[in-house]
Amino acid sequence: MLQVAVLREQTAAVLAGLAKRNYPTGEADVQAVLDLDQRRKDLQTSHDKAQAEANELARQIGGLMKTGDKAGAEVLKARTTELKQQTKAHSEELTEVEKTLQQQLYKLPNLPHESVPAGRSADDNELVREWGTKPELPADAKPHWDLIEQYDIIDFALGNKITGAGFPVYKGQGARLQRALINFFLDEARAAGYLEIQPPILINEASGYGTGQLPDKEGQMYHATADDLYLIPTAEVPITNLYRDDIIAPDRLPIRNAGYTPCFRREAGSWGAHVRGLNRLHQFDKVEIVQITQPENSYAALDGMVAHIEGLLQKLELPYRVLRLCGGDMGFTSAITYDLEVWSAAQQRWLEVSSASNFETFQANRLKLRYRPDGGKTQLLHTLNGSALALPRIVAALLENNQTPEGIRLPQSLHSYCGFDTIKGE
């Protein structure tokens, strides 16, 4: 959530940032915030003035009563009653104005970092670097949805039977590969200094607002209405919310957490060939890395997170590229995002497998997540997160890129985790 002081004191820069995001109603929405903020100030001033006058009259009434001037005291009491009615009305309106102001602030996305390129869609994203050699497959190479059927390692029909489309059943070597990848990613995160967290996979409304899923992505989350809880779209949400309303001691920073969870996304409106097989699911497994750090250190932390994710892809021997997202393609809460995509040899296209983002103070302001540097005033921290990694498209690329007549050969880094080096079916 953007800070009112920033909107008030840096209005031109805020409008320029919203324009880079192609946010259509930036000027009107910012002005609405400023008007509400001014109304809040005026109401608070009137309330405080009336309260101060009432306090002074109470003192005077006491003096008049001591001198026996009951008539004079009654006049002042009548005025005090008027003032009490005024302060009550001011308080009630102030509550409504503050509520409306909060909702108006929730509508505004984060401002992009100065390094974010301008643009409207994924076509305008900036290529940062590319790694690896794209494998050359024979003409009869199969896409992963045919390979998983050939080796009987993932079953979409069974998932559809027990739940619905987008909820696959992993079995045999497919299930073992899932478990191997999760353990591999968690072990790599722990070796890099991340503390492993196993959080709940249901969150309350406050947690959704805290990290920005609500109200922006409400329709994309599964909602357990009886208990008013939401299935998480990513482990970022519960892990970051561990620190909601906290003032973090400087010697605890940076906080570096990693967690594996299943993730749930309704993906309403998704259809077509680009979502076939493992390309897009309603439930999938992912390891997430999260950092909370001082503002001056957050961009170095982001670079380190991207390097960690790249290291995982290199150990998996998957060709990849790193993209810096343009203003029009970034998520609502992000100040800057790097996407990492792997090459799918059979589909002949890049598949996004990770996003690493710096949210700067946007989430921290919602979370009231602060620290107190050198014993001074509290300041907002910066929050960051990255996928390290999401499994479905990693599995898709591993299957497609490594298919041979003898089976699917896995990279060396996974052999000890899987207990086998080639997928041949069971």
Assess whether 151 and 294 both reside in one domain.
yes
Residue 375 has pLDDT above 80, yes or no: no
Type of residue found at 374 = D
Q: What is the mean pLDDT of residues 413-422?
A: 98
Assess whether 92 and 178 both reside in one domain.
no
Assess whether 207 and 234 both reside in one domain.
yes
Task: Say if 116 falls within a structural domain.
Answer: no
Total domains in the chain come to 2
Report the pLDDT value the prediction gives residue 99, as an integer from 0 to 100: 96
Assess whether 351 and 206 both reside in one domain.
yes
Model confidence over 394-406: pLDDT tens digits?
999 999 999 999 9
Assess whether 84 and 126 both reside in one domain.
no
Residue 253 preceded by cis peptide, ω within 30: no
Task: Say if 23 falls within a structural domain.
Answer: yes
Model confidence over 81-120: pLDDT tens digits?
999 999 999 999 999 999 999 999 999 999 999 999 999 9
Report the pLDDT value the prediction gives residue 273, as an integer from 0 to 100: 55
Tokens of 23: 């946010």
Q: 357: buried, middle or exposed (CB in 10 Å: 19+, 13-18, 0-12)?
A: buried
Model confidence over 304-361: pLDDT tens digits?
999 999 999 999 999 999 999 999 999 999 999 999 999 999 999 999 999 999 999 9
| 38: CB partners within 8 A, 6+ apart | none
Task: Say if 114 falls within a structural domain.
Answer: no
Assess whether 130 and 174 both reside in one domain.
yes
Assess whether 402 and 290 both reside in one domain.
yes
Assess whether 90 and 134 both reside in one domain.
no
Model confidence over 148-193: pLDDT tens digits?
999 999 999 999 999 999 999 999 999 999 999 999 999 999 999 9
Assess whether 44 and 78 both reside in one domain.
yes
Q: What is the CATH number of the domain that holds 283?
A: 3.30.930.10
Sequence ranges of the binding site: 234, 265-267, 288, 352-355, 385
Q: How confident is the model at residue 206 (pLDDT cuts 50, 70, 90)?
A: very high
Assess whether 90 and 140 both reside in one domain.
no
Specify the pairing of strand 379-380 against strand 370-371.
antiparallel
Q: How confident is the model at residue 219 (pLDDT cuts 50, 70, 90)?
A: confident
Boundary residue ending a domain (107, 140, 155): 107
Assess whether 180 and 99 both reside in one domain.
no
Separation between Cα atoms, residue 271 and residue 362, nearest integer Å: 32
Range of the domain at 372: 122-423
Boundary residue ending a domain (61, 77, 107): 107
Sequence ranges of the binding site for L-serine: 234, 265, 288, 385
Strand partners, 387: 288
Task: Say if 83 falls within a structural domain.
Answer: yes
Model confidence over 229-259: pLDDT tens digits?
999 999 999 999 999 999 999 999 999 999 9
Q: What share of the chain is helix, strand, coil (3-state, %, to 5)?
A: 50, 20, 30
Task: Say if 332 falls within a structural domain.
Answer: yes
Boundary residue ending a domain (45, 75, 107): 107
Task: Say if 117 falls within a structural domain.
Answer: no
> Treating both helix axes as pointing N-terminal to C-terminal, what angle do 26-67 and 11-20 enclose, rounded to 10 degrees?
140
Task: Say if 112 falls within a structural domain.
Answer: no
Three-state DSSP state, 385: strand
Contact 128, 324 (CB under 8 A): yes
Report the pLDDT value the prediction gives residue 270, as an integer from 0 to 100: 52
Q: What is the CATH number of the domain that holds 17?
A: 1.10.287.40
Strand partners, 154: 170
For 252, other C-beta atoms within 10 Å of its C-beta total 11
Report the pLDDT value the prediction gives residue 66, as an integer from 0 to 100: 84
Assess whether 345 and 378 both reside in one domain.
yes
Separation between Cα atoms, residue 65 and residue 80, nearest integer Å: 15
Task: Say if 113 falls within a structural domain.
Answer: no
> Treating both helix axes as pointing N-terminal to C-terminal, what angle do 173-191 and 391-401 enclose, rounded to 10 degrees?
120
Q: What is the mean pLDDT of the chain?
A: 95
Residue 268 has pLDDT above 60, yes or no: no
CA atoms within 13 A on the CB side of 55: 6
Model confidence over 50-92: pLDDT tens digits?
999 999 998 898 888 888 888 888 889 899 999 999 999 999 9
407-409, strands of its sheet edge to edge: 403-404, 407-409, 422-423
Q: How confident is the model at residue 267 (pLDDT cuts 50, 70, 90)?
A: confident
Report the pLDDT value the prediction gives residue 67, as an integer from 0 to 100: 86
Sequence ranges of the binding site for ATP: 265-267, 352-355
Report the pLDDT value the prediction gives residue 65, as an integer from 0 to 100: 82
Is 0.85 surpassed by the pTM of this model?
yes
Q: What is the mean pLDDT of residues 198-205?
A: 98
Report the pLDDT value the prediction gives residue 52, as an integer from 0 to 100: 93
